[in-house]
Structure 1
Amino acid sequence: MRPLDPRLLRYAGATRVTLATGALVTVLQTAAVVAFAWLVTRLVVRAIAGAPFPELSALFAWLVLVVVARGVLLWLAEAVSARGGATVVAQLREQLVDAFGRLGPQGLAGRSSADLTLVAGRGMDALDGYFAKYLPQLIGTAVAMPLLVLVIGWQDLTSGIILVLTLPLIPVFMVLVGWATQAAQKKQWAALSTLSRGFLDVVAGLPTLTLFGRQHRQEARIRRVSEEYRARTMTVLRMSFLSGFVLELAASLSVALIAVAIGLRLLGGSLDLSVGLFVLLLAPEAFLPLRNVGASYHAATEGMEAAAKAFEVLDAAQDAVPEAAAAADGDGLVFSEVVVSYDGIPVVGPFSGAVRPGTLAALSAPSGAGKSSLVAAALGFATCTGVISAGGRADAAGRREAIAWAGQRPGLRAGTIAENVALGETAPDTAPVAEALRAAAAPELDPALLVGAGGTGLSGGQAQRVAVARALYRLRARSCGVLILDEPTSALDADTERALVASLRAVAAEGVAVLVVSHREAVVAAADEVLELGGVLERDGVLERDGVSEHEGVHERDGVLERSGVLQNGGLSDVRH
């Protein structure tokens, strides 16, 4: 990442305000520095000349005011950078989360979830160092240093020339050290990413590892990756100290050159004391922003690396072709010649079917046939051709607004059941949560009950019903017209399944288009319509051809459906011998 990446201005508008305010404060600080040097020079020169005390006391009073002003401006600069940094980080994080939603699982398929979490979490927090330490010094280098060079050159041309010739040495050293530091920082970030992914994998697989007694074998791997991260971090710290020493040495030698030149000319009588002292006091201040930039660069490298990773995601989301908001004829959920593809390879379809408002439909197919892929396409999370509409909208964003959904995995977070049902609401209302739980056949669950990440503390069936309750809660709260449930009864007993199916029929009776992905007999029997992948629609024992594709090996013969050598009639299969 460059010292100031233009993409930061594009994705976080608060950066412009922070830069403008910081530049204004820096100009005032520079004026205070010049005033301080001038007042000290006047005091020393007049004291040597024997000026009376009242005259010196007036200068001293002005000097105290300037010192106080410098302190206030220093506090103001830190406050501006801290507040601006917090605002920019919040904007970037919001943009990043929005990009995750726009790209979806399909757009993020090539990126590690652990890396994305690391960037959005710790990475964005690390930008505080960039704004609190690095950016103010960068502004000082761009604003204060040229002003101080002009003032010094105006007072003493020789010192100004020496300053102009020696100042570029520091950026040269900064670039050389920066290259080495950037390479080390990339390795450190890679080690941290590896550690995060490895730790996440171990935690996710810990129950299985414990079951087979293999959990202790992962200790050596975690220890090795942690040690590598520690070593990378120490390398970055060593470079930080080394670069600080190099920059301090270069700045000190440059100031020493100016001081020697001033001393020789003072001894020779070719330079006035007031000019020499004034320039000598300002010279270190001219080098100070550059020295601080180099010293604070290392505190900002982690945040800069994280920002570069975040910009990659934001650029990808921006480069993605936006899907136009399109209206579709009719409400409910409609699939028209839909083919779902992954990495350009068709895996499902072509499929056509419709779930009308007020209808409970079941999408039935063998495991692995692509039922969940079809649902992902409806939600805009999988690439597909053809047309899918929900609630009268054919664009992905519009479909998501119209759909309440629960997947095969409950996806519960640590917190109360009420917080999981009313996901995203800071203060969920108890009554709608309890109603959603009742509708999900889970009236026995206490909304105030605490559960762990992934639904720890609940049985599989209970976690499943909480996920269904969440979908029903969204259905009511957002007035969605479509409800999609993916295998909602796979972990339920027969009685609970019947109760949930009855509740879903009541929801459909309210005018909602309900699609349940399931091959359970109770769900299929209760459905008004049964959609089968492959384009076969079965209702009351009647098979209707609807977009059946030849490549699937499906054709109809004498009223009997034949698929890959298996005769199916009325939902029963006879193996041909």
Structure 2
Amino acid sequence: MRPLDPRLLRYAGATRGLLAGAAGVGLAGTAATIGYAVVLAGLVAHVVRGGSAATMTGGVVALLVIVVARAAIAWYAEYFPRRTAVRMTSQIRRALLTRVTTEDRAAMVDRSPARLINLATTGVAGLETYAARYLPQLVLATMVPLGIVVYLGFQDVESAIVIAVTIPLIPMFMALVGWHTQKTAHRQYRLLDVLAHRFTDVVTGLTTLKAFGRSRAQAELIRRTDAEHKSATMKTLRIAFLSALVLELLATLSVALVAVSIGLRLVSGSLDLHTGLTVLLVAPEAYLALRAVGTHFHASVDGLTAAEAIFAILDQPVCHSGHAAVPSRWTTITLRDIAVQYAGARAPVRLPDFTCRAGDTTLLAGPSGVGKSTALNLIAGVLQSTSGEVLIDATPLDLLERAAWSAQTGYVAQSPYIPAGTVADNIRMLSSGSAERVDHALYVAGLAEFVMQLPRGADTMLREGAPEWSQGQRQRLAIARAVAARPQLLLLDEATSALDHRTEYLVLQRIRQEFAGRTIVIAGHRDATRDVADQVIDLGAVARV
């Protein structure tokens, strides 16, 4: 857990502006602090020596000007980092969301939705505290003490040496405390992940839990996990308070050493009053900046922990798009020597070599786990193989422009996502079509009669996930969405598995008629899918019909 991760500069350009602004504030703040100490010490020394009030006018005016300047610098030091931190966290959140929505499907399989939600919300929000508080203070803690030590080196070498020797002790203790805090923060974040996972799972399966009378038991489990998270949070706060006490004690003792040295030399007459007062006023400011870093560190440790998890996602290799134009007419799709290694799996998924002919309906058959969905994801271009290649005629799919290939590919999953909106909006999600196209897509999917019986027809509102519809109706809605988009290549991944045999056969026949002359690849193992296929490829033992 580094104080400043270089990856912040890569993924959030606003970080550079934040660092530059903090450096400017540091220089101005150091100059104002030294000027304030010099002027105030001069006024006090003038009064002690019995100087007249009339001769102090210039000094008082200068002091007021410096006080106003310090107030303005303090205001800007609060306003600028907060404003920039919002931009910075927005860029990080956008990079995270862009990454997870464009990565290949193998990575998506290993992603936990609850963890992603936690990172994009609570995690990034914690990073805002780091950006607005800790990071600017880290820059100030570097510049202010250095500037003060350099200035005191010209005024009082002995005090400068004392400060230069004692200041490094504070970062050293901060590092020791930070190592312990890091372990606690990681444990706390893991507990927060567990809590998010359990809550998401319970909400998703609440209907099933209710049906089997297990909802109360799950509520108790969430309550217990929440108590563990609260306990971990209190331990982190306890460490923060104790470390703050240690840093305050160390800084106080260091300033005391400087004060005792100045007092003894003032008594002996080896140091003049003006210089001694200036040093006494400036010395605490050198330690204040470092103490503030320790305070803000604990407030931002959750954000730093979340940042590590976010950067782990952002740093993973992406499935890059080629630049070659997609052929307007291609004749074959060939998978050759394919192996896909999923994270956490002991062995890669290996596929036999096979070819799908353009214009045909091809069925990929075989038992569960043999790699049917993997093959469809490879053909769709949303999955990167570990070895082997997908060929469009003789051109590797990796060399083709990814967006152009996706534009002519339709993909329907076994459990499709249904966003909140009207039935018509869901069908038009991939294309802008007329009411007639929507009605035709519903007919092809075998949903026209059902939708006509709804109170508002295709304008009926659906909740997210369409829980009021059956799984088979949701599958047919996704099929209608793909039909309305009119892709050149249609991929159906167990897309009719929830339909009865008669309805499944009817829908598949209509799809074949609708996509006559275009290519359909189906993953399935039911009789209806075999009845409509031009060729059947058994991924366990390749056979052609």
**TM-score bracket for the superposition, by shorter chain length:** 0.7 to 0.9
C-alpha deviations, 1:146-194, integer Å up to 9, x for none?
Answer: 0111112221111111111211221222122212211211211121122
The answer to whether the aligner puts 1:32 opposite 2:39 as a matched pair is no
Q: TM-score, normalised by structure 1?
A: 0.80
Amino acid paired to 2:42: R
Secondary structure, aligned partner of 2:498: coil
Where in structure 2 are the equivalents of 1:158-169 lying within 5 Å?
158-169=158-169
Instruction: Check 1:435–1:272 CA distance in 2 against 1; reply closer, same or farther (3 A cut).
Output: farther
1:194-251 Cα deviation digits (max 9, x unpaired): 2222323333333333322222222332222211111110000011111111111111
Give the equivalent residue in structure 2 for 1:378: 379
Once superposed, what is the RMSD of the aligned Cα atoms? 3.4
Partner of 2:266: 266
1:394 to 387, 394, 397: 397
CA deviation profile, 1:289-312 (whole Å, cap 9, x unmatched):
100001111011111111112222
Could you say which residue in structure 1 is the equivalent of 2:411? 405
Where relative contact order (Cα < 8 A, 6+ residues apart) is larger, the structure is 2
Residue identity in the other structure for 2:378: A
Counterpart secondary structure, 1:536: coil
Runs of 5+ unmatched residues, structure 2? none
**Residue in 2 that maps onto 1:541:** none
Deviations 1:299-353 (A, max 9, x none): 11111111112222233x14x7867656787536612335454447465531422
- Output the CA distance in 1 between the equivalents of 2:152 and 2:474: 72
Aligned residues: 527
Could you tell me whether the CA contact under 8 Å between 1:23 and 1:139 is conserved in 2? yes
Choose 113-122 or 239-248, whichever is displaced more: 113-122
Greater Cα offset, 143-152 or 452-461: 452-461
Question: Bigger shift: 235-244 or 164-173?
Answer: 164-173
Specify whether residues 346 and 327 from structure 1 end up closer, same or farther in structure 2 by C-alpha distance, changes over 3 A only: farther
CA distance in 2, matches of 1:512, 1:250: 77
Letter in 1 for 2:193: S
One-letter identity of the residue aligned with 2:44: V
* Letter of the structure 1 residue corresponding to residue 124 of structure 2: M
- Distance in 2 (CA, whole Å) between partners of 1:419 and 1:137 is 49
Structure 1's 220 and 129: CA in aligned 2 closer, same or farther, altered over 3 A? same
Give 1:414 deviation, angstroms.
Answer: 4.6
8 Å Cα contact 2:429/2:481 also seen in 1: yes
Tell me by how many angstroms 1:497 deviates. 5.1
Query: Judging changes above 3 Å, is the alpha-carbon distance between structure 1 residues 16 and 373 closer, same or farther for their aligned structure 2 residues?
Result: same
Q: Distance in 2 between matches of 1:530 and 1:481?
A: 20
Equivalent position of 2:135 in the other structure: 135
Larger strand proportion, structure 1 or 2? 1
Amino acid at match of 1:483: L
Q: Which residue of 2 aligns with 1:228?
A: 228
Query: Where does 1:220-369 land on structure 2 (aligned, <5 Å)?
Result: 220-315=220-315, 317-318=316-317, 331=330, 334-337=333-336, 339-342=338-341, 343=345, 345=347, 347=349, 349-356=351-358, 359=359, 361-368=361-368, 369=370
Mapping of residues 91-102 of structure 1, within 5 Å:
91-101=91-101
How far, CA to CA, are the matches of 2:459 and 2:126 in structure 1? 35
**Residue 59 (structure 2) aligns with:** 59
Task: Report matched runs for 1:45-84 at 5 Å.
Answer: 45-49=45-49, 53=53, 55-84=55-84
Pair 1:252–1:471, CA change in 2 (3 A): farther
SS at match of 1:4: coil
1:401 and 1:249, CA in 2 relative to 1: closer, same or farther beyond 3 A?
A: farther
In structure 2, the partner of 1:191 is 191
Deviations 1:356-406 (A, max 9, x none): 2xx351415255253222112223426365432469761187244542212
Offset at 1:276?
1.3
Amino acid at match of 1:23: A
Instruction: Flag structure 1 segments of 5+ consecutive residues without an equivalent.
Output: 539-577
1:337 is paired with a residue whose SS is strand
Contact preservation (8 Å) 2:363, 2:529: no
Change (3 A) 1:55 1:499: farther
Q: Distance in 2 between matches of 1:432 and 1:127?
A: 49
2:495 match: 488
**In the alignment, structure 1 residue 451 sits paired with structure 2 residue 462:** yes
> What residue identity is the alignment partner of 2:38?
W
- Report the secondary structure of 2:515's partner residue: helix
Correspondence for 2:86: 86
Secondary structure of residue in 2 paired with 1:353: strand
8 Å CA contact retained: 1:134, 1:297: yes
The offset of 1:16, in angstroms, is 2.2
Task: Verify the 8 A CA contact 1:418 1:433 in the aligned structure 2.
Answer: no
Distance change (3 Å), C-alpha of 1:432 and 1:244: farther
* TM-score relative to the length of structure 2: 0.85
| Percent of paired sites with the same residue | 37
Counterpart code for 2:336? E
Displacement of 1:518 = 4.3
User: Which amino acid counterpart does residue 330 of structure 2 have in structure 1?
Assistant: D
Measured against aligned partners, the alpha-carbon deviations of 1:85-144 in whole angstroms (never above 9, x if no partner) come to 223323323333344356534246556443344223321221011111111110001112
- Answer with 75-84 or 286-295: which moved more: 75-84
Cα–Cα, structure 1 residues 321 and 516, in superposed 2: closer, same or farther, change >3 Å? Answer: closer
Letter in 2 for 1:90: S
Structure 1 pair 397/288, CA: closer, same or farther in 2 (3 Å)?
farther
Deviation at 1:281, TM superposition (A): 1.1
